[in-house]
Structure 1
Amino acid sequence: MNILYGESKALTKEDEHRKKAEELLKLDERKRPYNSMNEAIVPTEEEIGAWRMKNLRSDNPMAHFKS
């Protein structure tokens, strides 16, 4: 049960990270903070799994069947 909680927490963290990245990309480059897209944090196993679940690959022939 703890694993499922960690995975769902990692999925929400990945969603928040993507929203933050989209907001930073919308800013003008001159107004964006210096090194705003770089993080020096080592991801956990749950975060890596969440990223893999959220990351869609265009070269995957079965990607469009996923609902």
Structure 2
Amino acid sequence: MKNYTVSVPISGWVCVSVEANNEDEAISKAFEEATLEDLEEWEMHKCIVEGNVFHGLMNEIDIFKED
């Protein structure tokens, strides 16, 4: 039997609550503060993008203000 090292692409998202003055600052802070413990969901893929088809879970930032 042979040994193999396999790298599998993943997609997913983290969810981080931050205090900020505006959405741009909130996004910047989320990038600074997020850790693997903030990972909400992830999925393994054989291929994430195939032609013009995205197979991932999320493809852009989603933000909402909590009042």
TM, length-normalised to structure 1: 0.26
Q: Which has the higher helix share?
A: 1
TM, length-normalised to structure 2: 0.26
| More contact order relative to length (CA 8 Å, sep ≥ 6) | 1
Q: Which has the higher strand share?
A: 2
